[in-house]
Chains A and B, each alone.
Chain A
Amino acid sequence: MATFDSSDRLKTVLGGFFEYLFTVPEMSQKLMASKMVLKFNYTEPELSITVDLTGPSPMITYNDCSKKPEVEMNMKADVAHRFWFGKVNLIMALARREMVAKGSIPKILKLLPVIKPAYELYPKYLEQGGYSALMIQ
């Protein structure tokens, strides 16, 4: 059974997490330094989240086709959920096609150390947001 039962639920939880990340100063500062447009395309359920880091402040939009991303990551929502728990090895996920990365691979790899602290933040965010049912061990 999929972790997220609808696109709305996925948008609330994962979209909310993206927005939360930018309230953490250290994380926000490092992500903004990348000056990229990133797009995450999720399936089961369907949703795309675009994170535009090219302006003075981050802009998060949903199912947005107006922006051309530098990096596009495609995956099942379940894989994304496990990823933010730090339970997905990106290299392994790419090798096994659990994730497909379009665009600059060096830029994707460069982001990995930057987002590492988010693995600790995601469970805290879920608990504080009342999403404890989504916790995984």
Chain B
Amino acid sequence: MPPDFFQFHCPTKIIFNPGISNDISAELGSLAVTRLMVVTDKMLVDLGIVDPVIAGLKNVGIQVTSVFHEVPANSELKVVKKCADQAIRQEAEGLIAIGGGSVIDTAKTAAILLTHGGDLVGDYSGAETIPGPLKPVIAIPTTAGTGSEVTRAAVILDEESHTKLSFVDRYLAPALAVLDPELTVRLPPKLTAATAMDALTHAIESYTSIQANPISEALAAKAIPLIRQNILKAVLHGEDIEARGALLTAAAMAGLAFDHAMVGVVHGMAHATGGLVGIHHGTANSIFLPWGMEYNLSACIEKYSEIAQIMKLPVEGLSAEAAARKAIEAVVRLREELKQACGLPNRLRDAGVTENLLEQIAEGAVNDGTSFFNPKEVIKEDVLKLVQRAF
């Protein structure tokens, strides 16, 4: 049964092809831009991933005003400001983000200042605060995880208050998402696994969110098997373009799904953990995913049972609850396989978390905005038990 109200808004044009990032001339024509600034990080520049994209832009007459390569792993307000100032000085007509979620979120928020000026926190932090369309952002993801290349949200760290600020607005969706699996082949196995598990968590949590709608469910339902069937292939054989392409596509689909349906307690626990220790977000999600599913089981028997079928697990003749448990078991097995394949930790203690932090993680998960969308009420005492088991 569809909810009383839902909306689905995807203004981002998505193009996919191995090698396509070297020639996006056809798409740039419709954006009517001639001067673009590249936003990226230094590692990608050093790896030689950025140069071919720039060469492709220059070949079609696009002037690249400069390359801003100072984006850290978790972007900060001061970085966004610096990026925007550089783009404003150089009169860039748009931004082209080449990188992971932090790079893309930096470009998205810098585009606000580039277009409308003002104070990023005071004027725009929050929901639907941007007064009009932004100068175009072209997102070229080099990881298959966050889905930021298609979402209407960005998260930036306020380095002074040590809090993550959310920006949610229809105008934040990039104008163009370029999915080129060739750009992800050099992603190390462990990071490949962690980012793909992030995408799997987006898909599963959005599928079971109280805010899910038939369109987000369809996207999540397609993303789940794409990730499950290709994650190990990409981890074990990084050059497998087909597997890389499947993960990149699935990450964008899961991104669109959670952009509309939101996520739940797994993200709540991951956000809380990330705020206390320097754990990779995808790794934290991977650790918490089966525990969060276990927590929500009583409220999600039908949905998990559907996930088991989507995963093509042998559930014929089983009760809905037994089938639902199969889905959780499949996630547990997948994590074990990833641990064997690339050392992706599946316990908090193996990811730098100490026992004295568990209570704070539970507290943080309850207070996280995602708990509002979880299919089951998020209660601290119960979450603490989960976190202890995940430890």
For residue B124, which residue of chain A has the nearest CB? A102
A105–B124 Cα distance when bound, in Å, is 12
Q: Which residue of A72, A101, A108 has the most chain B CB atoms within 10 A of its CB atom?
A: A101
Within 8 Å of chain B (Cβ to Cβ): is A128? no
**Is the CB–CB distance between A100 and B367 below 8 Å?**
no
**Is the CB–CB distance between B166 and A94 below 8 Å?**
no
**Is the CB–CB distance between B369 and A110 below 8 Å?**
yes
Within 8 Å of chain B (Cβ to Cβ): is A135? no
Smallest beta-carbon distance B169→chain A, Å: 10
A69–B145 Cα distance when bound, in Å, is 34
Within 8 Å of chain B (Cβ to Cβ): is A92? yes
Residues of A within 8 A of B211 (CB): 91
Within 8 Å of chain B (Cβ to Cβ): is A113? yes
Residues of A within 8 A of B129 (CB): 100-102
**Is the CB–CB distance between B5 and A105 below 8 Å?**
no
Residue among A89, A99, A101, A113 making CB contact with B372, cutoff 8 Å: A113
Residues of B within 8 A of A112 (CB): 372
Task: Give the number of residue pairs across the A-B interface with Cβ within 8 Å.
Answer: 57
Within 8 Å of chain A (Cβ to Cβ): is B125? yes
Within 8 Å of chain A (Cβ to Cβ): is B52? no
Residues of A within 8 A of B367 (CB): 106, 110
Smallest beta-carbon distance A74→chain B, Å: 9
Residues of B within 8 A of A110 (CB): 367, 369, 371-372
Within 8 Å of chain A (Cβ to Cβ): is B7? yes
Given contacts A92-B5, A95-B7, contact A100 B372 (CB under 8 A): no
Within 8 Å of chain B (Cβ to Cβ): is A117? no
Number of contact residues on B: which range applies? 20 to 34
Within 8 Å of chain A (Cβ to Cβ): is B4? yes
Smallest beta-carbon distance A36→chain B, Å: 12
A101–B127 Cα distance when bound, in Å, is 5
A107–B369 Cα distance when bound, in Å, is 7
Within 8 Å of chain B (Cβ to Cβ): is A137? no
For residue A71, which residue of chain B has the nearest CB? B126
Q: Using an 8 Å CB-CB cutoff, how does the interface string of A15-31 with B read, 1 for contact, 0 for none?
A: 00000000000000000
Q: Using an 8 Å CB-CB cutoff, how does the interface string of B1-35 with A read, 1 for contact, 0 for none?
A: 00011010100000000000000000000000000
Smallest beta-carbon distance B380→chain A, Å: 13
Residue among B123, B125, B127 making CB contact with A94, cutoff 8 Å: B127
**Is the CB–CB distance between A97 and B128 below 8 Å?**
yes
Residues of B within 8 A of A103 (CB): 125-126
**Is the CB–CB distance between B166 and A100 below 8 Å?**
no
Residue among A94, A104, A113 making CB contact with B128, cutoff 8 Å: A94
Residues of A within 8 A of B370 (CB): 106
**Is the CB–CB distance between B4 and A102 below 8 Å?**
no
Q: Using an 8 Å CB-CB cutoff, how does the interface string of B148-192 with A read, 1 for contact, 0 for none?
A: 000000000000000101101000000000000000000000000
Q: Using an 8 Å CB-CB cutoff, how does the interface string of B109-145 with A read, 1 for contact, 0 for none?
A: 0000000000000011111110000000000000000
Smallest beta-carbon distance B377→chain A, Å: 8
Smallest beta-carbon distance A92→chain B, Å: 5
Within 8 Å of chain A (Cβ to Cβ): is B368? yes
Q: Using an 8 Å CB-CB cutoff, how does the interface string of B348-391 with A read, 1 for contact, 0 for none?
A: 00000000000000000001111110000000000000000000
**Is the CB–CB distance between B166 and A106 below 8 Å?**
yes
**Is the CB–CB distance between A89 and B126 below 8 Å?**
no
Residues of A within 8 A of B124 (CB): 102
Q: Which residue of B123, B127, B372 has the most chain A CB atoms within 10 A of its CB atom?
A: B127
Residues of A within 8 A of B5 (CB): 89, 92
Residues of A within 8 A of B127 (CB): 94, 100-101, 105, 108
Within 8 Å of chain B (Cβ to Cβ): is A134? no
Smallest beta-carbon distance A39→chain B, Å: 12
**Is the CB–CB distance between B128 and A105 below 8 Å?**
no
Q: Which residue of B4, B128, B129, B166 has the most chain A CB atoms within 10 A of its CB atom?
A: B128
Within 8 Å of chain B (Cβ to Cβ): is A109? yes
Smallest beta-carbon distance A10→chain B, Å: 23
**Is the CB–CB distance between B7 and A105 below 8 Å?**
no
Q: Using an 8 Å CB-CB cutoff, how does the interface string of A67-109 with B read, 1 for contact, 0 for none?
A: 0000110000000000000000101101111011111111111
A-B contact pairs, 14 of them (CB 8 A): A92-B7, A94-B168, A95-B7, A95-B9, A97-B128, A101-B128, A102-B129, A105-B166, A106-B166, A106-B368, A106-B370, A107-B369, A108-B369, A110-B367
Q: Which residues from chain A sit less than 8 Å from chain B, CB to CB?
A: 71-72, 89, 91-92, 94-97, 99-110, 112-113
Q: Which A-B residue pairs are the 4 nearest by beta carbons?
A: A106-B369, A102-B126, A109-B372, A109-B369
Known: A99-B128, A100-B128. 18 other contacts (CB 8 A): A89-B4, A94-B127, A94-B128, A94-B168, A97-B128, A100-B126, A100-B129, A101-B128, A102-B124, A102-B125, A102-B126, A102-B129, A104-B165, A105-B126, A105-B369, A109-B372, A110-B371, A113-B372
